[in-house]
Amino acid sequence: MTGQFEFQVTTHIIYDRNSSRRLGEIVSRFGRKRYQLVTDAGVAGAGVLDGLLESLKLAGIDSVLFDKVEVNPTVQTVDRACKQYETEKCEGVIAIGGGSPMDTGKSVGMLASNPGSASDYLGPANWGKVKNPSAPVICIPTTSGTAAEITDVAVLSDPAKKVKLGIFSPYIVPAVALLDPCLTLSLPSEPTRDSGLDALTHAIESFISINSWIPTDALNQRAIELVSLHLRNAVHHGSDIDARDGMMTASLLSGMAFRNTKLCLVHAMTGPLGGLYNASHGASNAIVLPHAMRFMLPGAVSKYVDIAVALGEEVEGLSERAAADKAVDAVVQLSEDVGLPKGLSEIGVKEEDLEDVAKTVADNFQNSLSPRKASAEEIQEIFRAAF
């Protein structure tokens, strides 16, 4: 194989059932005594924080709670959290929840040691602007899908501009990812479905990305296998700890891969939808995924065969092209089995907006990482098929 490749996962990953009970011990390693807990109202009201707060108390760690994070966190929310962090003289961040609280917490940690507000660092024009290492950030996911606990990006919305963009920096990567699949046992079926399909989208897009290579391929293939094995049970039998464990592992593996390969056409298409409609990121990805896969298939036929096999499809005796088609069929079937909405119209997307969105997507760097790059007209066709 030719080409130059790099691989990095700088976050200290701690993974075990009930590992969250070790939070106080882990936080103590940083020698800081006051932390901001960043989460959302759902997590705060579900009793998830009780054990974490007890662990911190036993370790002599003080904390202050910020539980105002919304589904697609805004730059204004981050700035409010930063104000509390400063006023309360916090020395680090513990982010608990799905991608939204973790991206908010990562942003607060970064802004604790860099001047300005969140909007100053948002979007491609500001990449590279973060100059100083973050305050310590410990991420504790309560969903299995975003892998925000190990990635070098925080995705935020700017409602005034109706955009959803990322802060990219090696300095925004969390110091510690504390993964405990037991914390996902109470997650309702819909966010379990959406986050799980998000993990599948990450694994597939990273696998077919032009930046992929042997180590990331291995991570992604196993992640796809685990989603195929466990997502249905996690959605329909949420108390199945083996299914929850398998899905959290799948999310982590795909995150380790796409942290290095980045993602491609699906995420280029769905990113703007979060800014326009406040739509579920996982659901948007999953609805677009099979339609974008059909378009990209000619650029990665052999890899689609591998995806089909990882998803449990029988391909023996088929031509390579026919076997590749099985990958798309398997994604569609899995989505149906877990009750995914059938089209973007069902999650609030308006057809009249898609032409303008398609034009911006065509120039997105993620589109250029796809095995088959799409024009604005082709992106419109994919949107129509997914509508």
Mean pLDDT along residues 158-166: 83
**Gap between the Cα atoms of 140 and 179, Å rounded:** 6
Could you tell me if 7 and 261 are in contact, meaning their C-beta atoms sit under 8 angstroms apart? no
What does the domain layout of the chain look like in residue ranges? 12-184, 189-386
Structure confidence at residue 278 as a pLDDT band (50, 70, 90): confident
189-386 adopts what CATH topology? Dehydroquinate synthase-like, alpha domain (1.20.1090)
Indicate if 189-386 has the same CATH topology as 12-184.
Answer: no
Task: Taking the CA atoms of 193, 195, 201 and 204 in sequence, report the sign of the dihedral they define.
Answer: negative
SS3 helix, strand, coil % of the chain, rounded to 5? 55, 10, 30
> pLDDT value at position 1?
59
> pLDDT value at position 273?
83
pLDDT higher than threshold 70 for residue 2: no
- According to the CATH classification, is domain 12-184 in 3.40.50.1970? yes
Mean pLDDT along residues 256-281: 89
> pLDDT value at position 356?
87
- Number of residues that this document lists for the chain: 387
Host H or E run for residue 66? strand 62-66
> pLDDT value at position 145?
96
| pLDDT, tens digit (0-9, with 9 covering 90-100), for 167-192 | 999 999 999 999 999 999 999 999 99
pLDDT higher than threshold 80 for residue 3: no
pTM: 0.95
10 Å Cβ neighbour count for 317?
Answer: 7
Cα angle value 103/97/361 (rounded, 5°): 40
Mean pLDDT along residues 200-220: 97
**Gap between the Cα atoms of 140 and 335, Å rounded:** 27
Structure confidence at residue 4 as a pLDDT band (50, 70, 90): confident
